[in-house]
Amino acid sequence: MKKKWILLLLVLVMVAVLLPGCSKQGAGTSGKGCTVTFGAAVSLTGKYAKEGEYVNNGYNLYVEEINKKGGIKVGGKTCKVALKVYDDESKAERSAQLVEKLITEDKVQFLLGPYGSGNTYATTAIAEKYQVPMVEANGAATKIFNRGFKYSFAVLTPAPYYLRGIIDLALDQDPNLKTVAIVAENGAFALEVAGGARDYAKEKGLEVVYFDKYAKNAKDVSSLITAIKGKNPDILLGAGHLQDTLLIVKQSKDLNLSPKVMGFSVGPTAPEFRKALGKDADYVFGAAQWTPELKIKSDDVFGTPQNFAKLYKAKYGEMPPYQAAESAAALIAYQKAIEAAGSLDRKKVRDALANLDYMSFYGRLKFNEKGMNVYKPMAVMQNYTDGKLYTVWPKEAATKPPLYPFKPWDQR
């Protein structure tokens, strides 16, 4: 019974996602042209449904824009781009299963990543097994890349770097801050983020007064908040994803936990954060892989972060979260590698990816020998009291000064 429903759901999702793609593909193959097909398993339901939606939007926006320009140049021809997306229900094993299906049954040429480090960890192993390149944009854990894989590349900055910006910003605002509490979701990505933050905080002379993890599907963290409040930290850093971040902020208010700085790895930069919390989103910092306010000029299909934001807003009705931008950037990495290789041969494209060094609207796309992009810095955004998100760090990209300190809950 369960399988039946899942199947029905999958068919529905497939129809919904592929209907626009199918007609284009038909038109492409009938003439002299060709089609490059990318495949991905993305979380459209389950815990990472919201983040997965942003990923899917990013992929689709790129496909739409590049096809408006004719497609990707391969040698002398211009190929249309097609996309095949399945819903992995936020489960790693399902994600791996679907990626295998994309390779063996749907015969896609190249793979894109799912959302989240856990799912990416599972799917990159499948890609490696079949020697199909996977450029992923949403798995930041370094453990994905410590297995000596040759076909996996990540366009985003690795997990241990996530919270550094927030720590720098906090100490820049007030060098007298002494203590920090760090909590992490019990998962690959979050634990690396938290570990990186702990090491960096110590390096900067802060005392880590609380460091612990909570269950992956936690629905109640009030005990954790109680323990943290007992330590009375100056800074609270959370490593996790959107749902945990919402929960922590909500229950911090319940229990009146008001540190001077509150920052998270994932969540505060997503439009959903403000929608779910309303005024309670104010003052919260979020790490960002990318912001629409960065000053970058590129010759890719989007040109600038501002133009990407404009196109995204026109299509989806809200400002783009960084998950959408990095997902689109994964396709740009492919485009540049395919153009350099002059071929759709998987091995040649892989080699071109390994040698890629390109400035996109998203930032520098270059991979180290493990396949990680360690060449792009992180930014910090803050939910301002006027209901908008602003880039507040690094200073040279900031559009507003940070609001400091965090206004205690009982004074709002």
Partner 1 sequence: MNYEIGQGVVNALLLTGTLTLVAIGFSIVWGILNIINIAHGAFIMLGAYVTYWLFTLYGVDPFLSIPISMALMFILGYVIQRYLINLVIRAPLLVTFLLTFALEIVIINLATVFWKGDFRSVTTSYSGAGFAIGHVQVPYVRLAAFVISLLITGLLHVFMTYTRQGNAIRATGMDVDAARLQGVKIAHTYALTFALGAALAGAAGSLISVSFPISPTMGGEYTLRAFVICVLGGLGSIPGVLAGALVFAFIEVFSGVYAPGLKEAIALFVMVLVLIVRPSGIAGKAFYH
Q: Pick the closer one to partner 1 by CB: 45 or 78.
A: 45
9 binds partner 1 (CB under 8 A): yes
Among 109, 117, 243, 383, binds partner 1 (CB under 8 A): 243
228, two tokens: 């943290």
Residues 172-191 that bind partner 1 (CB under 8 A): 186
Among 172, 207, 220, 357, binds partner 1 (CB under 8 A): 220
216 binds partner 1 (CB under 8 A): no
Residues 21-40 that bind partner 1 (CB under 8 A): none
247 binds partner 1 (CB under 8 A): yes
119 binds partner 1 (CB under 8 A): no
Task: Please choose, from the candidates 306, 293, 280, the residue with its C-alpha nearest in 3D space to the C-alpha of residue 392.
Answer: 293
Work out how close the CB of 325 gets to partner 1 at its nearest, in angstroms, rounded to a whole number: 22
| Part in contact with partner 1 (CB under 8 A); list of ranges 63-71, 274-282, 366-374, 393-401 | 274-282
At residue 209, the 3 state secondary structure works out as: strand
Among 33, 34, 45, 73, binds partner 1 (CB under 8 A): 45
165: Cβ–Cβ under 8 A, 6 or more apart, which residues? 287, 377, 378, 379, 380, 393, 394
Cβ atoms of residues 261 and 235 within 8 Å? yes
Q: What is the DSSP letter of 394?
A: S
Cβ atoms of residues 268 and 285 within 8 Å? yes
Among 65, 192, 234, 280, binds partner 1 (CB under 8 A): 280
Among 84, 94, 164, 229, binds partner 1 (CB under 8 A): 229
357 binds partner 1 (CB under 8 A): no
311: Cβ–Cβ under 8 A, 6 or more apart, which residues? 61, 65, 302
266, two tokens: 């994932």
Among 23, 29, 131, 256, binds partner 1 (CB under 8 A): 256
276 binds partner 1 (CB under 8 A): yes
Cβ atoms of residues 371 and 149 within 8 Å? yes
At residue 287, the 3 state secondary structure works out as: strand
Cβ atoms of residues 396 and 293 within 8 Å? no
213 binds partner 1 (CB under 8 A): yes
Among 219, 314, 369, 411, binds partner 1 (CB under 8 A): 219
78: Cβ–Cβ under 8 A, 6 or more apart, which residues? 33, 70, 71, 72
6 binds partner 1 (CB under 8 A): yes
Spatial distance between the Cα atoms of 113 and 39, rounded to a whole number of angstroms: 9
Among 10, 18, 255, 340, binds partner 1 (CB under 8 A): 255
227 binds partner 1 (CB under 8 A): yes
Q: Which helix (H) or strand (E) holds 66?
A: helix 49-68
Residues 49-88 that bind partner 1 (CB under 8 A): 49-50
Ramachandran quadrant class, 346 (left: phi over 0; alpha: psi -120 to 50; beta: rest): alpha
Q: Pick the closer one to partner 1 by CB: 193 or 352.
A: 193
Spatial distance between the Cα atoms of 314 and 317, rounded to a whole number of angstroms: 6
260 binds partner 1 (CB under 8 A): no
Among 15, 16, 22, 215, binds partner 1 (CB under 8 A): 215
At residue 362, the 3 state secondary structure works out as: coil
Report CA torsion sign: 328, 50, 42, 47.
Answer: positive
Chain contacts with partner 1 (rule: CB under 8 A): 1-2, 5-6, 8-9, 44-47, 49-50, 89-90, 186, 212-215, 217, 219-224, 226-227, 229-230, 243, 246-247, 250, 253-256, 276-278, 280, 409-410
